[in-house]
Every structure is written in structure tokens, then in C-alpha cells.
Amino acid sequence: MKLELGELSTPLGDVRFARGSGRLLALAFAECWPRVGRVLERRLGPIEWEAAADSAELDARLRAYFAGDLATLAGVEVELAGTDFQRRVWSALREIPAGATTSYGELARRLGAASAVRAVGAANGANPLWLVVPCHRAIGSDGSLTGYAGGLERKRWLLAHESKYFSPAS
């Protein structure tokens, strides 16, 4: 399978992305990429990487998000490459509005699997689409910040950023 690989800069550090057939399959901090790349290969089989021909649209959307346009990432076309349960969790994460948070337990209940809190957490941790599938919006049931592949400082920054620009209409 041929996939495009590219790299972009954000205020939180460099990110790498994988795209196939015009859809985003992965977006992760550069230092997390080795794990994400291995996961993609396990799910999709051998990958032939080629340089991304054009990253202007994704770059523009990321820049807009960081400038305060919190809704812009909803327009990114993605391919959720995971198990059925993971895809359900990731789809539910995309429904959490910017500026809001939810607990892993609430996500499990929303999916009709109230006892699957740990499985929801594991799916959240396996999210290959950082930011576009906003796993940073999932927090502990006590309101604590728990787990984030990019580190809790980045998670804290993202939540503060979204709170700064959040409006009920966004």
C-alpha cells in the first residue's frame, strides 16, 4: 500500500502525518511517530512511503485551529484504521465540541458499553489522529488529566487553548 508521509510544525512541536487516497490516516507528534507508523503497518500491511505532494490544506487547517478557529478540523477527511470498537470510540471523540471535555466513563456509557471504561481508555490511547480525533478532551472521572501520548503538558495546553476560544456557537 502506498501512503504519503509529511511533516508540519505546530506551536506544540512538529507533527507527522500519513495520508492515503486523500484521507488522513494518522497525525502524531514527531517523537511519537515510530509507534504510530508500526501500528499503521500492523493494520494495513506493508507500506510504501512517499513524500506528501501537498500539505497546504492540512497546514492551513492546523494554523487556523491554533489561531482560534476550533471548528476547522472537523472538515478534515479521515480514515479511521482500527478495530470496530476503536472506530466507535474515535467517532464519539470527534463529536465532543471544542472547549468541552468528557470522562472515559461517560464515553463508555455513550457507546452503550458502560463497563468498558478501560477499553475506551485503551482505544483513546491508540488514537492515530492526534488533534483531529480530539483524544485530549477525554479526562478522568474526577476531572483529572490522565494519559496523553504527547504528554500532559500538551494536553493541558490544548484544553486551555480551546477554553480560550470556545463559544457555544462553535
Exposure string (b/e) for 67-79, b if CB count within 10 Å is 16 or more?
eeebebbeebebb
C-alpha 82/C-alpha 76 separation (Å) is 18
Grid cell, residue 27, equals 497525525
Ranges of beta strands (E only) in 57-153 are 102-103, 138-139
Q: Look at residues 147, 166, 169, 167 and name the one whose alpha carbon lies nearest to residue 156.
A: 147
Residue 135 bears catalytic tag: yes
Position 167 scores a pLDDT of 64
Span 84-165: which CATH code?
1.10.10.10
- Each domain of the chain, given as residue ranges in start order, spans 2-75, 84-165
Instruction: Tell me which architecture the domain covering 2-75 has in CATH.
Output: 2-Layer Sandwich (3.30)
Residue pair 104/122 in contact by the 8 Å Cβ criterion: no
**Given the residues 73, 92, 129, 135, the one annotated as active site:** 135
The series of mean pLDDT values per 10 residues for the chain, 170 residues long, is 95 95 94 91 93 93 95 92 93 92 94 94 91 93 85 93 76
